[in-house]
């Protein structure tokens, strides 16, 4: 017995010194999904059993906030844990997102993503789905903004975004721009030609033939550019990449969700024995809406409901793989949306192609609660209490420090990290968010401040300006398809428009000095917080400037097998079931 004692002590020492396995991370980001869409947030007609399962088996955040109400800046904040203005991913113009594959802007290589931190900790990392944070800088082979330059070992998805223009018959997001830049000039030229011809015929003015020739050439150039844009936009910009290679150009929507889900499942299976990070960035439910034959026409909410229910199916497939491989108890799963539902998405036929923001005002593109309050679900059995609801303000920027801490990675010390570790809230070690103040940007411009005082249940929100909804009385900017952030498209407020979200979550009744004795004191505190925050924001290159947004032919990617700008290949079909 005495001889066994040293052996027993040795085994105990080895067990004690053996580090606990690092957790895996599956971060699922929906696109344009409203907080009123999942069943666990109150929807009774849209079927989302797998998303609801995460709420039942984990924590539901009821005041989870996107750092921006638009795709590109929100995703930049999610990846880096920083307000997008800090990385230059906040536009000063009307266009707040990238629209072309051959744009030169993107998430700077100097930014540190959670993928890079985890890769340095020995994690296998993958992003499957939508990126939308840029691709190239100087040429079409540098991939300076590509996921592989930001810590992801594997990428399979779309580098830009899913647009109506990518699916024939679904219309265009460029209708207003084309009207302004092409149709209006063509009409002006036509009127000028008719007027000059009439004056010449009447003998009232001598008009040289060169004037007519010049106007006709100008009209031909505009018409040619318009036709070229309409013909080439889809093949040049709607592409599917596998790592740094084009796998399908233009992308096909046939079983697209299934293909991406299968790839995500293969990644998990390949890395079941090592710690991994999977970002599953859904293309749904951004327009153009799509669904496979198994889901098309099956929901109670038309094409939008079909797409949402197919996305929920894909979430379930990933959860099933984790369960099959017995990884559930060692995997933190996070589900959210990059911003609120796009309420202005209504077709010319009157079909609603946007989702529900529940009781909340506004939607994608503005900082009313409907634009930034998004689903927030986290599950980690045995670590996070099942069925818990957290009402404190949280942000999608909080994922960065939370994941870093759990993986054992130190946060960068040379920059401001705006996110806060969620684990004290998720473990019920704290009832109060570390975010006393949160700042809501409309692109480059500070739009509103949120304040949750430490000793109060009130949640104050002060707007410096609000978007002008059109038509008057609408719940969005329907005439421009999305709200803009400056100029004639906004109304500035002095004093700021103040709401108490704890009693008025619909933001219907602004607080007045007569109704709130501390009105001016509250606004002064929030203004001081905004001033302190502004002093921490340093000037950086604007990644969404007009020169960075424009299409550049030398940055354009095309299939190796294509010639000129034809850019057509269907390699994805041959790759299915092969490498991932």
Residue-wise DSSP of 435-499: -SEEEEEETTEEEEEEE--TT-S--EEEEEEEE--BSTT-SSBTTTSS--SSGGGEEEEEEEEEE
CB contact at 8 A, 295 and 256: no
| Residues sharing a CB contact under 8 Å with residue 580, sequence separation 6 or more, in sequence order | 154, 156, 263, 266, 267, 270
Is residue 440 part of the annotated active site? The answer reads no
Backbone torsions φ then ψ of 335, nearest 5 degrees: -130, 135
Separation between Cα atoms, residue 363 and residue 66, nearest integer Å: 12
Question: Phi-psi bin for 425: left (phi > 0), alpha (psi -120 to 50), beta?
Answer: alpha
- In DSSP terms, 461 is beta-bridged to 450, 499
Nearest residue to 499 via CA among 355, 391, 367, 339: 367
Q: Considering all CA atoms of the chain, what is the largest pairwise distance in Å, rounded to the nearest integer?
A: 124
Point out the catalytic residue in the list 64, 132, 301, 440: 132
Point out the catalytic residue in the list 71, 166, 477, 569: 71
Tell me the three state secondary structure of residue 526. helix
**Four-CA torsion 533, 534, 536, 538, nearest 10 degrees:** 150
Residue-wise DSSP of 6-54: HHHHHHHHHHHHSPPPPPEEEEEEESS--TTSSGGGT-SSS--HHHHHH
Q: E strands of 164-309, at which residues?
A: 240-242, 245-248, 276-281
Separation between Cα atoms, residue 304 and residue 308, nearest integer Å: 6
Tell me the three state secondary structure of residue 117. helix
Is residue 132 part of the annotated active site? The answer reads yes
Backbone torsions φ then ψ of 4, nearest 5 degrees: -80, -15
Beta-carbon count within 10 A of 139 CB: 12
- In DSSP terms, 394 is beta-bridged to 64
Q: What's CA 436's distance to the chain center, in Å? A: 24
Tell me the three state secondary structure of residue 185. helix
Q: In which element (H, E) is residue 390 found?
A: strand 388-390
Tokens of 64: 């989870």
**Four-CA torsion 501, 506, 511, 516, nearest 10 degrees:** -50
Q: In which element (H, E) is residue 130 found?
A: strand 124-130
CB contact at 8 A, 384 and 59: yes
Active-site residues, by number, are 71, 132
């Amino acid at each position: 017995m005495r001889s066994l004692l040293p052996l027993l002590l040795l085994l105990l020492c080895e067990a004690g010194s053996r580090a606990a396995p690092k957790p895996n991370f599956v971060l699922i980001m929906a696109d344009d999904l409203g907080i009123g869409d999942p069943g666990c947030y109150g929807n009774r007609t849209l079927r989302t059993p797998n998303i609801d399962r995460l709420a039942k088996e984990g924590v539901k955040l009821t005041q989870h906030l996107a750092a921006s109400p638009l795709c590109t800046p929100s995703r930049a904040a999610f990846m880096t844990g920083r307000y997008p203005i800090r990385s230059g991913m906040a536009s000063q113009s009307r266009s707040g997102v990238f629209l072309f594959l051959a744009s030169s802007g993107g998430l700077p290589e100097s930014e540190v993503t959670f993928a890079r931190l985890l890769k340095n900790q020995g994690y296998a990392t993958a992003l499957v789905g939508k990126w939308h944070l840029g691709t190239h800088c100087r040429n079409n082979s540098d991939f300076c903004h590509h996921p592989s330059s930001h810590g992801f070992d594997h990428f399979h998805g779309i580098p830009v975004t899913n647009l109506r223009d990518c699916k024939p018959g679904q219309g265009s997001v460029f209708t207003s721009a084309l009207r302004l830049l092409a149709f209006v000039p063509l009409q002006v030229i036509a009127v000028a030609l008719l007027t000059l011809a009439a004056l010449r015929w009447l003998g009232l003015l001598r008009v040289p033939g060169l004037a007519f020739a010049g106007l006709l050439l100008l009209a031909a150039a505009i018409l040619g550019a318009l036709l070229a844009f309409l013909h080439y936009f889809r093949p040049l910009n709607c592409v599917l990449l596998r790592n740094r290679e084009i796998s399908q150009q233009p992308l096909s929507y046939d079983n697209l969700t299934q293909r991406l889900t299968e790839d995500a499942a293969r990644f998990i299976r390949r890395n079941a024995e090592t710690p991994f990070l999977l970002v599953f960035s859904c293309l749904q439910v951004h327009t153009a809406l799509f669904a496979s034959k198994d889901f098309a026409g099956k929901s109670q909410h038309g094409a939008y409901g079909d797409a949402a229910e197919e996305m929920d199916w894909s979430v379930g497939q990933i959860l099933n793989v984790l369960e099959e491989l017995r990884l559930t108890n060692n995997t933190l799963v996070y589900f959210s949306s990059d911003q609120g539902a796009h309420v202005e998405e209504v077709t010319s036929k009157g079909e609603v192609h946007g989702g529900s923001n529940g009781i909340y005002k506004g939607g994608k593109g503005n900082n009313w609660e409907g634009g930034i309050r998004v689903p927030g679900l986290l599950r980690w059995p045995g670590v996070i209490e099942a069925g818990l609801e957290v009402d404190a303000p949280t942000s999608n920027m909080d994922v960065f420090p939370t994941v870093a801490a759990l993986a054992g990675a130190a946060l960068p010390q040379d920059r401001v990290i705006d996110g806060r570790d969620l684990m004290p809230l998720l473990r019920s070690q704290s009832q109060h968010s570390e975010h006393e103040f949160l700042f809501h940007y409309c692109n480059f411009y500070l739009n509103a401040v949120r304040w949750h005082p430490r000793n109060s249940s009130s949640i104050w929100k002060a707007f410096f300006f609000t978007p002008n909804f059109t038509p008057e009385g609408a719940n969005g900017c329907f005439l421009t398809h999305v709200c803009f952030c400056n100029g004639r498209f906004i109304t500035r407020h002095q004093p700021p428009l103040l709401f108490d979200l704890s009693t008025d979550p619909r933001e219907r009744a602004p607080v007045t000095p007569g109704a709130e004795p501390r009105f001016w004191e509250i606004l002064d505190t929030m203004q001081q917080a905004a001033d302190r925050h502004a002093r921490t924001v340093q000037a950086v290159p604007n990644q969404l400037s007009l020169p960075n947004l424009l299409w550049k032919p030398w940055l354009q990617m095309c299939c190796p097998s294509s010639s000129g700008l034809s850019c057509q290949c269907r390699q994805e079909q041959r790759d299915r079931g092969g490498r991932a």
